[in-house]
Amino acid sequence: MDAPRLNIWFRGLAAAAVVGCAGRWNGPAVIVLACAAGWSVFDLGRREEVERAEPERSGAALPTVEPYGIAMQLAFVAVLGVGAWDNRAPEVAWRSPGLPGVGVIMLGVALRQSAAHALGSRFTVGVSVPADHELVVTGPYRWIRHPNYAGLLLVAFGTAMMVWSPLAAETALVAWLPLALLRIQKEERALHARLGEAFLDYARASWCLVPGVY
């Protein structure tokens, strides 16, 4: 196994271990949160490596370190870790999951998949706008400029609801969401620089993240 792939595996296992230990590996909810943390960090790392190795996929080589991306990963792991911490007590180990939260998670995943389908090969981990990039206004992009982040926000809140953790929802609001908004600003500056007035017209006719709110 080469060094980059080994590093990706290490990061994923470390994220799973941190979340699992936060919840003292106490029951199914904590184990699910630990697995989710490990898989999300591993999968993002894997996709980053693919985009660095094949820059033609995203139109530009990605930086070795993408600060907002790393910070958002850590913040998402923190959300899961706090949820695990709230489920560390033995008396809550086998309580039933919050079913409305499961539904919100499924909605968030579906929104992300719809966004990925609409973008196709333009759906990347890093912030990059290829020279031939065209404005996408199909799928959820007809109403929301950043449905991928909206989906992640739903996943974060749904997870907090599923494991009965108000503190995890607060962590998503105060840690993950501000970083996502900074990343959004960076992406919109890049899109404006590439697409010019066409992007501004689209921005005026759509919502950024939450329809009817922002």
pLDDT tens-digit series, residues 4-14: 778 889 999 99
Q: Tokens for 36, please give them.
A: 């989710």
Tell me what the mean pLDDT of segment 124-150 comes to.
80
Beta carbons of 17 and 24 less than 8 angstroms apart: no
Interatomic CA distance for residues 101 and 115, integer angstroms: 21
Percent of the chain's residues with pLDDT above 70: 86
Helix axes 67-85, 3-22, angle to 10 degrees: 30
Residue-level pLDDT at 131: 58
**Helix, strand, coil percentages in the chain from 3-state DSSP, rounded to 5:** 70, 0, 25
**Cα distance between residue 55 and residue 203, in whole Å:** 27
- The C-alpha atoms of residue 11 and residue 144 are separated, in whole angstroms, by 32
pLDDT at 72: 92
Q: Give residue-wise pLDDT tens across range 48-90.
A: 877 767 655 545 444 444 677 789 999 999 999 999 999 999 9
SS (H, E, C) 58-99: CCCCCCCCCHHHHHHHHHHHHHHHHHHHCCCCHHHCCCCCCH
Domains, in order of start, for the chain: 3-204 (1.20.120.1630)
What's residue 128's pLDDT? 59
